[in-house]
Structure 1
Amino acid sequence: MKYDIDADGVSHYILGELSYNDFDKSRRIGMWQLAKLIQGARHQRFRSVTMNLKGLGITSFVRSQFLQIYPAFYTSKLTQNRALDITSRLSHLGRTSCCLDTDMYDLSTKTLLASGSVQDVFVSRQTRRPFPVASIAWQQTKVITPRDQRPISGPDFPARPTGTLCFTQTRTVMSSDTDANDHLNEAMFIRFCFDCASSAALDGHLPSFRKDVIYADAKTVWFLYIREARVGEELTLYCWEDRNLSRTLWVEMCQESQVIGQCQIQFYEDGLTRSTSEPDGGLTLAKL
């Protein structure tokens, strides 16, 4: 791994090769693993800032995350010996939050594979309430404002349907699912949602997905992190297919009666490459 930041404020997190564990049974990088790769670039970018904030009694939590996956992510047939360049830039710095935008490129071809935006919220370690960002922690940081608004506004999350239209699954948070704060890691949130969606499809609850959704080509993933989840807590996940937006799934995660996370997953109309994706029926593209 190599890391560098240029004069324009864009950092480059270069992975010389991928790990066998980066790939799932479809022989592709899963969405939760993509989130982990981006997380690695984010942690590298914020290392010095995190140390400054820690000394001031401040910590940060991910509030929301958006992933945009491009066709090349599926058609370029990534393998273990392919190098990646994950660039990142601070796109928003508010009073108690910031946004980091990332782009993932195939290093050899410079092809854009995926993009993302993560919103972090800063809180007091003592009160767990939002805390104004100390300027000293950001004195060496340059903000690159994008054309569209940050944080990215998520979709209006619909009411959960009743009856057989909604698939339900329970899952217990394990120690290996948590981060250094002993909370369910944000990438594991996404993994839980995709696991639930896969089970829903295989159980016949998703009309447009007759097989495991791991073989479908995800186009966008949006996640809102509402509350923390800790080791040993039992979570209930609900998954359903949107009746109006084509190839769009919703997943809601609850701990007892409290909603702790909400996710929208949109898929491309059909498998972009038959060599890695199983046929799954095609519908019109959905839009956020």
Structure 2
Amino acid sequence: MDVQKNTIQKKSFVKRPVGILKKQLGYTREFFHPNLARIIIPTLPYEALDCSGEKILPWSLMKLFDSCEISDFWPFQDEPQGPAHDKVMYILNYELEIDEALYTSDSPKVPLIIDNTVKYVKNASRFTESILRHPEVERQYAKCSGIEVNMDPETRKPKPFPLWWKEHFNFPTEGSKREFKLPTKPKANVFSSEHRVCFSDTDENKHMNYTVYVRFCCDSFCENVLAGKYGVSLDVYEIGVKKLQISYLNECNLGDILTVASWEDKVIKNAYHFEIWNGSVLSATVTISYHNFFNIEKCSRL
């Protein structure tokens, strides 16, 4: 394949519709360095709240962070090699932490700032961190971090980042390995529910979007609490996600019937573990801990 044809094909990935959409969300952007971008957003979108308009939906926060993805706003490269890389990233693991302040109505929500940092770039993977905050509040509202792998869009296998690209931007190359492992699953008090992957659960990569794993787990958790299977001290209408950790193991696709198995942590209060099975294949593991706002008089949620 000649250089010109290769460049044209690569541009098609960078300019795919979802990338264009992200650039039209009305965000103000500041670039301090290719490793650091600041995105200023008007406020949380209405879709980030549940039906009551009170609780923040964690998968909506994940989508908010994704809409500020740092590489979607990198300057376009005109070198013969084409743009930075084919924009198909597979997430290995992901962590989201939500401070109690984000749930309270007395903490300012306009404007909000997201600082995105590339912590390191290795052969075919990178580690990024994003922090959501208000410019006049010292404590951070939320933080997400993830390890992603650059994938070949055809073979769906890891594809090394171009050496010239890493050298050009001088990204850090060293960083600690991160893994999230569940404790041993108990023999009793493990509860299961089924979820079908619908078309609206999929994305442009033609598999179930990474945020849907969290939604399935949260739905299963609430169903089990309401059924009295665990979390007897919790009111699902008086809680908010505090922290979640996900390890993505295998893709899920349209029409798959997934089984979510979950149990309560015996040591950490208000923490629960989840396994998402696609038949006999383990697709993801998730740990979620919750803020419990029940009987806290001064905690007025959004």
Q: Does 1:264 align with 2:287?
A: yes
Q: What secondary structure sits across from 1:6 in the alignment?
A: strand
Q: Match for residue 28 of structure 2?
A: 2
**Structure 1 residues 22, 207: closer, same or farther in 2, change over 3 A?**
closer
Pairing of 1:141-152 with structure 2 (within 5 A): 141=169, 143=171, 150-152=176-178
**Partner AA of 2:102 in structure 1:** F
**Structure 1 residues 77, 235: closer, same or farther in 2, change over 3 A?**
farther
**Partner AA of 2:89 in structure 1:** S
- Distance, in Å, in 2 between the alignment partners of 1:192 and 1:46 is 31
Q: What secondary structure sits across from 2:43 in the alignment?
A: coil
- Structure-2-length-normalised TM-score: 0.78
- Distance, in Å, in 1 between the alignment partners of 2:128 and 2:212 is 19
**Partner AA of 1:126 in structure 2:** E
**Partner AA of 1:236 in structure 2:** T
Pairing of 1:124-143 with structure 2 (within 5 A): 124-138=152-166, 141=169, 143=171
Please list the CA deviations of residues 208-259 of structure 1 after superposition, one character each: whole Å capped at 9, or x if unmatched: 44322x5313321100111111111111101110122222100110100111
- Structure-1-length-normalised TM-score: 0.82
- Distance, in Å, in 2 between the alignment partners of 1:52 and 1:64 is 23
Q: Match for residue 201 of structure 1?
A: 225
**Structure 1 residues 53, 270: closer, same or farther in 2, change over 3 A?**
same
- Distance, in Å, in 2 between the alignment partners of 1:52 and 1:197 is 40
Deviation at 1:275, TM superposition (A): 2.6
Pairing of 1:172-211 with structure 2 (within 5 A): 172-211=196-235
- Distance, in Å, in 2 between the alignment partners of 1:84 and 1:142 is 29
Q: Does 1:248 align with 2:271?
A: yes
Deviation at 1:144, TM superposition (A): 6.1
- Distance, in Å, in 2 between the alignment partners of 1:179 and 1:141 is 29
Segment of structure 1 superposing worse, 66-75 or 228-237 = 66-75
- Distance, in Å, in 1 between the alignment partners of 2:137 and 2:285 is 35
- Distance, in Å, in 1 between the alignment partners of 2:45 and 2:179 is 33
Q: Match for residue 85 of structure 2?
A: 53
Q: Match for residue 35 of structure 1?
A: 62
Q: What secondary structure sits across from 1:182 in the alignment?
A: coil
4+ residue runs of structure 1 moved beyond 6 angstroms? none
- Kept in 1: contact 2:197–2:208 (CA 8 A): yes
Deviation at 1:52, TM superposition (A): 3.6
**Structure 1 residues 30, 151: closer, same or farther in 2, change over 3 A?**
farther
- Distance, in Å, in 1 between the alignment partners of 2:56 and 2:223 is 19
**Partner AA of 1:219 in structure 2:** K
- Kept in 1: contact 2:273–2:288 (CA 8 A): yes
Q: Match for residue 103 of structure 1?
A: 131
Structure 1, unpaired ranges of 5+? 278-288
Segment of structure 1 superposing worse, 125-134 or 181-190 = 125-134
Deviation at 1:51, TM superposition (A): 5.1
**Partner AA of 1:135 in structure 2:** L
Q: Match for residue 185 of structure 2?
A: 160
**Partner AA of 2:224 in structure 1:** A
Q: Match for residue 121 of structure 2?
A: 93
- Distance, in Å, in 2 between the alignment partners of 1:200 and 1:44 is 39
Q: Match for residue 275 of structure 1?
A: 300
CA RMSD of superposed structures (Å): 2.8
**Partner AA of 2:228 in structure 1:** G
- Distance, in Å, in 1 between the alignment partners of 2:172 and 2:159 is 23
- Distance, in Å, in 1 between the alignment partners of 2:39 and 2:179 is 27
Pairing of 1:79-90 with structure 2 (within 5 A): 82-90=110-118
**Partner AA of 1:21 in structure 2:** E
Q: What secondary structure sits across from 1:201 in the alignment?
A: helix
Deviation at 1:69, TM superposition (A): 1.8
- Distance, in Å, in 2 between the alignment partners of 1:140 and 1:37 is 29
Identity %: 21
- Distance, in Å, in 2 between the alignment partners of 1:205 and 1:246 is 16
- Kept in 2: contact 1:170–1:235 (CA 8 A): yes
Segment of structure 1 superposing worse, 60-69 or 36-45 = 36-45
Segment of structure 1 superposing worse, 225-234 or 28-37 = 28-37
**How many residues are matched?**
268
- Distance, in Å, in 2 between the alignment partners of 1:260 and 1:14 is 34
Q: Match for residue 247 of structure 2?
A: 224
Q: What secondary structure sits across from 1:124 in the alignment?
A: coil
